Amino acid sequence: MGAGIAVRNNSLGEEVVRRITELGGISEDADTLTRVYLSKELRTAADLILGWMRSAGMHAHLDAVGNVCGRYEGERPGLPCLMLGSHYDTVRDAGKWDGPLGVITAISCVAELNRRGRRLPFAIEVVGFADEEGVRFASTLLGSRAVAGTFDESVLATRDRDGVSMRDALVQFGLDPDHIGAAARMRRELLAYLELHIEQGPVLEAQNLPVGVVTAIAGATRLAARLTGIAGHAGTVPMALRRDALSGAAECITAIEQFCRTDTNGLVGTVGYLHAKPGATNVIPGQVSFTIDIRAPTDAHRKRAVADIVRQIEAIAKRRDLSLQLDVTHENRTAPCAPWLKEQIAHAIAAEGFSVFELPSGAGHDGMAMIDIADVGMIFVRCRGGISHNPAEHVELADADAGARVLLRVIENFRPRES
């Protein structure tokens, strides 16, 4: 991978890869990379990124929800900005590229402009969003929703696995939960929102291309399910008389997998978390909680699929005499990328000597929230084997450099949408 693409000494890519490795070392666990929203390690990471922003010539601060924000003024102070961003939180046992690549590459591009003493007819802002993954609390895109002014204050009451509420976690992080509104930005302050991100799939690799133009970010629905039966003695209760919540959950999971596998239009469904109580070898499980994540290329298809899956789960619970609580914890519609931004990205890719290739994003991104206040464009960078949300996630230096060069070119040639 990356074969045939030249990398200069002291390239942007080299700086990006060095910083990716440094940031990837900040983790809640010694052996794996995990950095969830409002953790102590997220704060350490924020300080490191703020330092990089300042040394790139930006004014930088932590906003009211924990996002790191840097601003590089244009030809005169106070101009509307081209906003560049991605997230700096991670999933559990993560790879180090998902999110940080976009934040770090954007900072390196600004640093390059600063080195050349170049000011543009617009400001550049770089945002590292504090929560895109939604791993800790039951809602995703918390950082970008706060910036877009769509943060739902009811999530402040949600609790993490250890029972800590988001409200308390914000206070521990040094933020005021009653002032999250201060992170919101106005549409007139932004000329566009642009994000560079690893592809997290195998398509660019199959095309033998380092970068691609994203057409749209697929919508997603997430649900939290809880099945309750009766805990009991594993030796005494005959099989026919059991109300085993874990066996019920297993049937639900298989039904979801089967339903999505038989779909021929790109439907995907995942149960990524399951917790059985009381959790002992010789006790019939009385209660099981699990999550469901459903995505499809169109919103109509996803909504139909969610309704079908809910019907199937309800039928399984009824037949097994389990009580069911099912809540939608997150719903995002598909976010199309703006044609005028796709065009500017395509020009930059062609100017760097690569074929222009368009592809949709099956993964969620901060652009899904930012689309409420700005047109959105995205650049994908190839990753090895299409592997992501996995410590084996990897981007070749040559591809990181190609992504950085494309982003820098987009910034330098950026023309705001004609009104």
Contacts to Mn ion by CB under 5 A: 98-99
Residue among 199 and 244 whose Cβ is closer to Mn ion: 199
Instruction: Give yes or no for residue 364 binding ligand GLV (CB under 6 A).
Output: yes
Compose the 310-349 pattern: x for residues touching ligand GLV by CB under 6 A, - for all others.
----------------------------------------
Residue among 197 and 405 whose Cβ is closer to ligand GLV: 197
Residue 229 binds which entry of ligand GLV, Mn ion, none, with Cβ cut-offs from 5 to 8 Å by kind? Answer: none
Q: How far is the CB of 103 from Mn ion (least distance, A)?
A: 10
Q: How far is the CB of 97 from Mn ion (least distance, A)?
A: 9
Q: Other C-beta atoms within 10 Å of 403: how many?
A: 28
Q: Cα(331)–Cα(293) distance, rounded to whole angstroms?
A: 10
Instruction: Give yes or no for residue 363 binding ligand GLV (CB under 6 A).
Output: yes
- Given the structure tokens 């409200």, which residue do they identify? 167
Q: Which of 382, 391, 388 is nearest to 13 (CA)?
A: 382
Contacts (Cβ under 8 Å, ≥6 apart) of 24: 33, 96, 100
Q: How far is the CB of 411 from ligand GLV (least distance, A)?
A: 25
Q: How far is the CB of 363 from Mn ion (least distance, A)?
A: 6
Residue among 91 and 166 whose Cβ is closer to ligand GLV: 91
Backbone angles phi, psi at 282, to 5 degrees: -105, 25
Residue 99 binds which entry of ligand GLV, Mn ion, none, with Cβ cut-offs from 5 to 8 Å by kind? Answer: Mn ion
Contacts (Cβ under 8 Å, ≥6 apart) of 368: 141, 144, 217, 219, 332, 333, 335
Subset of residues 121 to 150 that bind ligand GLV, contact rule: CB under 6 A: 133
Q: Cα(255)–Cα(253) distance, rounded to whole angstroms?
A: 5
Residue among 251 and 393 whose Cβ is closer to Mn ion: 393
Structure-token pair, residue 230 = 């009766």
How do 220-228 and 59-62 pair as beta strands? unpaired
Q: How many residues bind to ligand GLV according to rule CB under 6 A?
A: 3
Q: Please check whether residue 131 is in contact with residue 71, taking contact to mean a CB–CB distance below 8 angstroms.
A: no
Q: How far is the CB of 133 from ligand GLV (least distance, A)?
A: 6
Q: Other C-beta atoms within 10 Å of 30: how many?
A: 5
Q: How far is the CB of 260 from ligand GLV (least distance, A)?
A: 16
Instruction: Give yes or no for residue 94 binding ligand GLV (CB under 6 A).
Output: no
Question: Residues interacting with ligand GLV, by CB under 6 A?
Answer: 133, 363-364
